[in-house]
Amino acid sequence: MTEHHSKLPTVGGGMPVIQYWAAKTLSTRGPHLWKKLNHKSACLSCAWGTGGQNGGFANESGESLQRCMKSVEAINAELMSAVPRQFFERHALSELQQLTSYEADRLGRLSVPLILRAGQKYYERIGWSELFRIAEDAFRCLPERAASYSSGRSSNEAAYLLQLMIRALGSSNLADCSDLCHAPSTVGLKQVFGSGTSMVSLDSLKKSDCVVLVGSNAPANHPRLVNELIKIRERNGKIIVINPIKEVGLVKFASPAFPIRSLLTGAEIASLYLQPIPGSDVALFIGIQKALLAMNLVKFDFLRDHAEGWEAVIERAHATSWTTLVETCGVSQSDIEAAAQIIGQSQNVVLAWAMGITQQANGVDNVLSIANTALMTGNVGKEGAGTMPIRGHSNVQGFGSMGVTTKLKKEIQQALETLLGKSLSRVPGYDARALMEAADNHQVDTLLCVGGNLYAANPDLTQAKRALGKVKTIIYLATKPNLGHFHGLASENTIIIPVFNRFETPHRTTTESGNNFVRLNDPGNTHLKKGDLISEVQFLTELAHRLLGDRPVDWRRLQNTKYVRELIAQTIPGYEAIGEIDNTEAEFTVGGRIFNEPKFSTPSGKAQMHETALPTLSLPNAQTYGISEQTRSLVVALITGRSYGQHNTVVYQLGDRYRAMPHRNCILLNALDAENIGFRNHQRVTVQGNAGKLEQVEIIFGNIRPHAALMFYPEANVLFKAKIDSRCGTPAYKRVPVVIYPDT
């Protein structure tokens, strides 16, 4: 470690986590927090799936003490008091628009319905009858001009009702945060295995002796996954990390779940750490395949018996030269061979990935190249092995399962047509990016946002604001205020409806984890006793009833979520067991997802392998951005992602101590890269992309590969119009060309 990194901690997790727990649970909100931590419902934060009927602390294998600090952070944010009554009367929009994400969230919980009317400067309170009248009128537009966006914190029941209502109205514009997230995994894995989710259960992961962790910062975003990695190392298994940034918690992690085992020193995570060029993972995986071939570690019998299309994949690995591969990914041949050797010689390998893989212009190819590598080594269709997209929001996968998607499975489409007694719209519908483009082209009149922050989650915030400004009515269902409520404003009416969160809803709900496990969430109550909140299910059923009456389904009866679960059981393959869950309380694994035998959900039962093209990854020169040759400048591939202290667009803590980035307006740079051009550590610079710039950005030297950099979203979303992988609509948030130059 050089002096540039001297401020960096050398271990992820550890004492700061314990201190945070202590501070929060001993605070005045502490007793409340403990109650909610023990509530029988799935954790709000990530999709690892802690919580549920075994108690708030248990994971899917029933092991206790699995709640992490992120869970505490998420609950704590929900336990804030209501935004003060007169707040919105006293603060004009122009003031609200000055707030940062952190400040917006700190305002407190939303507790009364609000409206911003055309031409007005203040949000004002609105009664339910007028609110429903406006909502009803808005949805009486042409079906193709109505749309929804959703974020994966709401329940399966809300998700199912949302898509049923939108489809019953004749629209299929069901944009979802997964379009910006794991859509490439769904598209890629479906092509190969006929199923778009992880094929590995938590129990199966526990039988693995090697995990390849690609493009994931799990210590921050899926902390309890790291416990499994620690246990694999303890069993003498291997962890290969592939990430352009050396994330400290992936080098060493001190887990509070193992207090006796060296909380201060931490356990080693990575056995081998490869730092490729951002966006180059296909080249790295073809390199691994090439090395496996050379070492005679490819399982040809397995390919012949269980896969189709493998010949072309093998041929591609043969034919691509080492020079090309090494130049494209920036990792040496010997390091690639070392990775191949570990993978080829392990018994059971799980290949797991997150946003470093999916948020790329070739996200689907990235996923295909990982799946190819798994197949070539026989690491699919058996216990302890397989492909594992690490899902984001706690119920984002459930939203997809419930049919909130623009790529509806045939079986679900047919079942819904039988249920609704009419054919569904055959127009594919807008995904999140298409929705923004359509809105910008005046093609959307009404938009219902079930959670999330569509504005700040998108690239090019200038366009996002302009596009949303062309929608006539936007209805936000939300628990907390966020930037979208102050910048994503409709031309006529913007409505914010305060909703109960998962541990407050007065009825039972369910959620699905990234490991395909369905959790049953007990009813709860809210601390916002004086508020006027509504459950998402109640809002959706009431609106649907007003628009569609009692036919073909009795929408008001669906306020009883047991009835929603009956419909889910009837129409969603793999979810049959949900029809009985009210009687049995038995949480279950969705059928047809976990492959412990090499028989897949493709027509032939064999995996369908696909060749992947090498990405071309040049960076433009500074002059493209109008920077003169005389100005000292550096063009880099910017990774935009999460700090340690945020949940997506919501900022909880300003700094990121694990990367020694003290505030939000920092850029993590390679020291040699910066010094070559004469930039110093902590110097303030301008960072400019193809859509905007940020000034006064502080340079922080870190362990990141040359010509790459890291900044935090949502702030960084002002900088760029993203490239999109057209097969899935996902923006390339992880490879944004930007130029850096001294502030003028």
Ligand X SMILES: Nc1nc2c(c(=O)[nH]1)N[C@H]1C(S)=C(S)[C@@H](COP(=O)(O)OP(=O)(O)OC[C@H]3O[C@@H](n4cnc5c(=O)[nH]c(N)nc54)[C@H](O)[C@@H]3O)O[C@H]1N2
- φ and ψ of 303, to 5 deg: -60, -45
Q: Least Å distance between CB 564 and ligand SF4?
A: 24
Q: Least Å distance between CB 514 and Mo ion?
A: 11
CB–CB of 532/498 below 8 Å? yes
101 or 612: CB nearest Mo ion: 101
Q: From residue 291, give the alpha-carbon distance in Å to each of 211, 321, 322, 538.
A: 18, 11, 10, 56
Pick from 237, 266, 381, 392: which binds Mo ion (CB under 5 A)? 392
Q: Residue 71's binding partner, choosing from Mo ion, ligand SF4, ligand X, none, with beta-carbon cut-off 5 to 8 A by kind?
A: ligand SF4
* Contact residues for ligand X, defined by CB under 6 A: 45-46, 70, 151, 153-154, 177, 180-181, 214-217, 220-221, 242-245, 247, 276, 278-279, 281, 354-356, 359, 392-393, 450-454, 457, 477-480, 482, 499, 501-502, 536, 639-642, 646-650, 713, 716-717, 733-734
Q: Least Å distance between CB 454 and Mo ion?
A: 13
Block residue for tokens 């509806």 = 408
Contact between 183 and Mo ion per CB under 5 A: no
Q: Residue 407's binding partner, choosing from Mo ion, ligand SF4, ligand X, none, with beta-carbon cut-off 5 to 8 A by kind?
A: none
Q: From residue 644, give the alpha-carbon distance in Å to each of 10, 161, 336, 365, 399.
A: 15, 34, 29, 28, 26
Handedness of CA 284, 289, 293, 295 (dihedral sign): positive
Q: Residue 216's binding partner, choosing from Mo ion, ligand SF4, ligand X, none, with beta-carbon cut-off 5 to 8 A by kind?
A: ligand X
Q: Residue 48's binding partner, choosing from Mo ion, ligand X, ligand SF4, none, with beta-carbon cut-off 5 to 8 A by kind?
A: ligand SF4
539 or 595: CB nearest ligand X: 539
- State the DSSP H helix or E strand holding residue 518, giving kind and residue range, or none if neither: strand 517-521
Distance CA 194, CA 742 (A): 50
Q: Residue 215's binding partner, choosing from ligand SF4, ligand X, Mo ion, none, with beta-carbon cut-off 5 to 8 A by kind?
A: ligand X
Q: Least Å distance between CB 642 and ligand SF4?
A: 13
Q: Residue 220's binding partner, choosing from ligand X, Mo ion, ligand SF4, none, with beta-carbon cut-off 5 to 8 A by kind?
A: ligand X
Q: Residue 275's binding partner, choosing from Mo ion, ligand X, ligand SF4, none, with beta-carbon cut-off 5 to 8 A by kind?
A: none
Q: How far is CA 612 from the centre of its chain?
A: 24
50 or 148: CB nearest ligand SF4: 50
Distance CA 9, CA 712 (A): 19
Contact between 516 and ligand SF4 per CB under 6 A: no
Distance CA 286, CA 372 (A): 9
Q: Least Å distance between CB 56 and ligand SF4?
A: 9
CA angle 726, 730, 731 (to 5 degrees): 100
373: which 2 tokens? 């590598």
- Give which of 441, 543, 432, 439 is closest to 489, Cα–Cα: 439
147 or 354: CB nearest ligand SF4: 354
Q: Least Å distance between CB 74 and ligand SF4?
A: 7
Contact between 641 and Mo ion per CB under 5 A: no
215 or 237: CB nearest ligand X: 215
46 or 385: CB nearest ligand SF4: 46
Distance CA 171, CA 430 (A): 10
Helix ranges, 421-525 (H): 432-440, 454-457, 461-468, 483-487
- State the DSSP H helix or E strand holding residue 662, giving kind and residue range, or none if neither: none
Distance CA 406, CA 429 (A): 6
Pick from 37, 42, 44, 181: which binds Mo ion (CB under 5 A)? 181
Q: How far is CA 511 from the centre of its chain?
A: 15
Q: Least Å distance between CB 367 and ligand X?
A: 12
Pick from 17, 37, 39, 50: which binds ligand SF4 (CB under 6 A)? 50
Q: Least Å distance between CB 181 and Mo ion?
A: 3
Contact between 398 and Mo ion per CB under 5 A: no
Report the half-sphere exposure of 564 (CA within 13 A, side-chain side): 27
143 or 219: CB nearest ligand SF4: 219
Buried b (16+ CB within 10 A) or exposed e, 311-345: eebbebbeebeeeebbebbbbeeebbbbbbbbbbe
Q: Least Å distance between CB 224 and ligand SF4?
A: 3
Pick from 11, 17, 33, 46: which binds ligand SF4 (CB under 6 A)? 46
Q: Residue 279's binding partner, choosing from ligand SF4, ligand X, Mo ion, none, with beta-carbon cut-off 5 to 8 A by kind?
A: ligand X
143 or 392: CB nearest Mo ion: 392
Q: Residue 204's binding partner, choosing from Mo ion, ligand SF4, ligand X, none, with beta-carbon cut-off 5 to 8 A by kind?
A: none
Q: How far is CA 642 from the centre of its chain?
A: 11
Contact between 43 and ligand SF4 per CB under 6 A: yes
Instruction: Give one DSSP letter per residue of 253-318, joined into a string.
Output: EE-TTSTTTTTTT-EE--SEEE-PPTT-HHHHHHHHHHHHHHTT---HHHHHHHEESHHHHHHHHH
Q: Residue 477's binding partner, choosing from ligand SF4, Mo ion, ligand X, none, with beta-carbon cut-off 5 to 8 A by kind?
A: ligand X
Q: Which amino acid, 180?
A: L
223 or 378: CB nearest ligand SF4: 223
Report how far apart the first and last C-alpha atoms of the chain are (Å, whole number). Answer: 33
Distance CA 688, CA 623 (A): 12
Q: Least Å distance between CB 392 and Mo ion?
A: 3
Q: Least Å distance between CB 177 and Mo ion?
A: 6
Which range, of 46-54, 139-147, 164-172, 587-595, touches ligand SF4 by CB under 6 A?
A: 46-54
Contact between 400 and Mo ion per CB under 5 A: no
- State the DSSP H helix or E strand holding residue 94, giving kind and residue range, or none if neither: helix 93-96
Contact between 223 and ligand SF4 per CB under 6 A: yes
66 or 571: CB nearest ligand X: 66
354 or 685: CB nearest ligand SF4: 354
70 or 480: CB nearest ligand SF4: 70
Q: Least Å distance between CB 441 and ligand X?
A: 21
Which one-letter DSSP state was computed for residue 567? Answer: H
Q: Residue 68's binding partner, choosing from ligand SF4, ligand X, Mo ion, none, with beta-carbon cut-off 5 to 8 A by kind?
A: ligand SF4
Q: Which amino acid, 421?
A: G
Contact code string over 52-71 relative to ligand SF4, x by CB under 6 A: --------------xxx-xx
Q: Least Å distance between CB 603 and Mo ion?
A: 31
* Beta strands at 666-669 and 708-712: parallel, antiparallel or unpaired: antiparallel
- Give which of 292, 371, 375, 402 is closest to 338, Cα–Cα: 292
224 or 238: CB nearest ligand SF4: 224
Instruction: Let me know how many helices (H) and strands (E) the chain has, helices first.
Output: 30, 30
Q: Least Å distance between CB 521 and ligand X?
A: 11
Q: Which amino acid, 107?
A: L
- State the DSSP H helix or E strand holding residue 23, giving kind and residue range, or none if neither: helix 15-25
Q: Least Å distance between CB 354 and ligand X?
A: 3
Q: Least Å distance between CB 442 and ligand X?
A: 23
- Give which of 518, 213, 243 is closest to 389, Cα–Cα: 213
Binders of ligand SF4 among 280-339, rule CB under 6 A? none
514: which 2 tokens? 């990234």
CB–CB of 641/712 below 8 Å? yes
Q: Least Å distance between CB 664 and ligand SF4?
A: 22
Which residues of the chain form contacts with Mo ion (CB under 5 A)?
A: 181, 392
Which residues of the chain form contacts with ligand SF4 (CB under 6 A)?
A: 43, 45-46, 48-50, 66-68, 70-71, 222-224
